[in-house]
Amino acid sequence: MKRNARYLLAGSVLLLTFLGVSLSSGVAKEPNTTKTKAINDIMVGKCMSCHSQGYDLPFYAAIPGIKEVIEKDYRDGLRAMDISTEFQTETANQPFNEAALAKMEWVILNDTMPPAKFAMVHWGSKLTVQERDDILKWVKDTRAEHYATGAATKELANEPLQPIVAMDVDEQKVAIGKILFDDKRLSADSTLACSGCHAMEKGGTDQQQFSEGIKEQFGDVNAPTVFNSAYNVEQFWDGRSADLQEQAGGPPLNPIEMGSKTWDEIIERLTADEDLTTAFTEVYPSGWSAENITNAIAEFEKTLITPNSPFDKWLMGDESALTKNQLEGYRLFKLYRCSSCHVGQSVGGQSYEYMDLKADYFTLEEKTPLNSDKGRMNFTKDPNDMHKFKVPNLRNIEHTYPYMHDGTVTSLDESVRIMGDYLTGIAVPKKARDLIVEFLRSLSGELNGKPLEGTPAPN
Ligand code: HEC
Ligand code: HEC
Ligand code: HEC
Task: Calculate how far, in angstroms, residue 134's C-alpha sits from the geometric centre of ligand 3.
Answer: 29
Q: Is 336 in the pocket of ligand 3 (CB under 6 A)?
A: yes
Q: Return mean pLDDT, the chain.
A: 90
Closest by CA position to 344, among listed 54, 95, 87: 95
Candidates 295, 304, 296; CA nearest to 393 is 304
Of all ligands present, the nearest one to the C-alpha of 81 is 1
Ligand 3 binding pocket includes 58 (Cβ within 6 Å):
no
What is the 35 CA–ligand 2 centroid distance (Å)? 39
Ligand 1 centroid–CA 107 distance in Å is 8
* Residue 112 Cβ contacting ligand 1 at under 6 Å: yes
Ligand 1 proximity of 428 Cβ (cutoff 6 Å): no
HSE-up of 245 (CA within 13 Å, CB side)? 11
Say what the pLDDT of residue 123 is. Answer: 76
For residues 131-146, average pLDDT: 95
- How confident is the model at residue 87, as a pLDDT? 82
CA dist 211 and 22 (Å) reads 54
Q: How far is the CA of 391 from the centre of ligand 3 (A)?
A: 6
Residue 61 · residue 67 · CB < 8 Å: yes
Average pLDDT over residues 301-317: 98
Mean pLDDT check: name the lowest of 34-38, 95-99, 293-297.
34-38
**97, 143, 259, 330 from 91: Cα distances, Å:** 11, 16, 41, 33
Q: Is the CB of 293 under 6 A from ligand 3?
A: no
Ligand 2 atom nearest residue 237's Cα: 17
Residues in the chain: 459
Average pLDDT over residues 436-444: 98
> For the segment 28-48, what is each residue's pLDDT rounded down to a tens digit?
455 545 557 889 889 988 998
Choose which residue among 167, 184, 186, 257 to substitute to test ligand 2 binding: the one with the highest number of ligand atoms within 8 A of its C-beta. Answer: 257
Name the percent of the chain lying above pLDDT 70: 90
Q: What is the pLDDT of residues 154-174, one digit of tens each?
A: 999 999 999 999 999 999 999
Instruction: pLDDT band for 417, please (50, 70, 90 cuts).
Output: very high
Amino acid, res. 455: T
Any ligand 2 atom below 6 A from CB of 197: yes
Question: Mind listing the pLDDT tens digit for each residue in 370-388?
Answer: 999 999 999 999 999 999 9
CA distance 188 to 199: 20
The minimum-distance atom of ligand 2 relative to the CA of 196 is 5
Q: Using one digit for the tens of pLDDT, what is the confidence trace for 181-199? A: 999 999 999 999 999 999 9
Alpha carbons within 13 angstroms on the beta-carbon side of residue 404 total 26
Q: How far is the CA of 340 from the centre of ligand 1 (A)?
A: 13
**Mean pLDDT across the stretch 385-397?**
97
76 lines ligand 1 (CB under 6 A): yes
Q: What is the arithmetic mean of pLDDT over 224-235?
A: 97
Higher pLDDT, 325 or 116: 325
Q: How far is Cα 281 from Cα 287, in angstroms, rounded to an integer?
A: 5
Atom of ligand 2 nearest to the CA of 257: 1
How far, in Å, are 194, 197, 244, 256, 299 from residue 184 at the CA level?
A: 8, 11, 19, 15, 19
58-69 pLDDT, tens digit each: 666 677 777 777
Does residue 415's CB lie within 6 angstroms of at least one atom of ligand 3? yes
Neighbours of 381 (CB within 10 A): 9
Q: How far is the CA of 247 from the centre of ligand 2 (A)?
A: 8
Residue 199 near ligand 2, beta carbon < 6 Å? no
Residue 217's CB is within 10 A of a number of other CB atoms, namely 14
Question: Residue 1 pLDDT more than 50?
Answer: no
Q: What is the model's pLDDT at position 185?
A: 97
221 CA closest ligand 2 atom index: 12
Quote the pLDDT of residue 19: 31
Other Cβ atoms closer than 10 A to 100:
22
Question: Which residue has its alpha carbon closest to ligand 2 atom 14?
Answer: 223
Q: Which ligand is nearest to the CA of 51?
A: 1
Residue 69: its pLDDT value, please? 75
pLDDT number for residue 92: 63
> Considering only CA atoms, which of 357, 351, 345, 259 is closest in space to residue 305?
345
45 lines ligand 1 (CB under 6 A): no
Ligand 1 atom with minimal separation from the 72 CA? 12
Measured from the Cα of 73, ligand 1's closest atom is 12
CA dist 195 → 87, 176, 179, 292, 452 (Å):
39, 14, 10, 19, 15
Q: Residue 364: which pLDDT band, with cuts at 50, 70 and 90? A: confident
Output the CA–CA distances (angstroms, integers) from residue 12 to 8, 66, 103, 283, in the order listed. Answer: 6, 12, 31, 73
CB of 127 closer than 8 Å to CB of 104: no
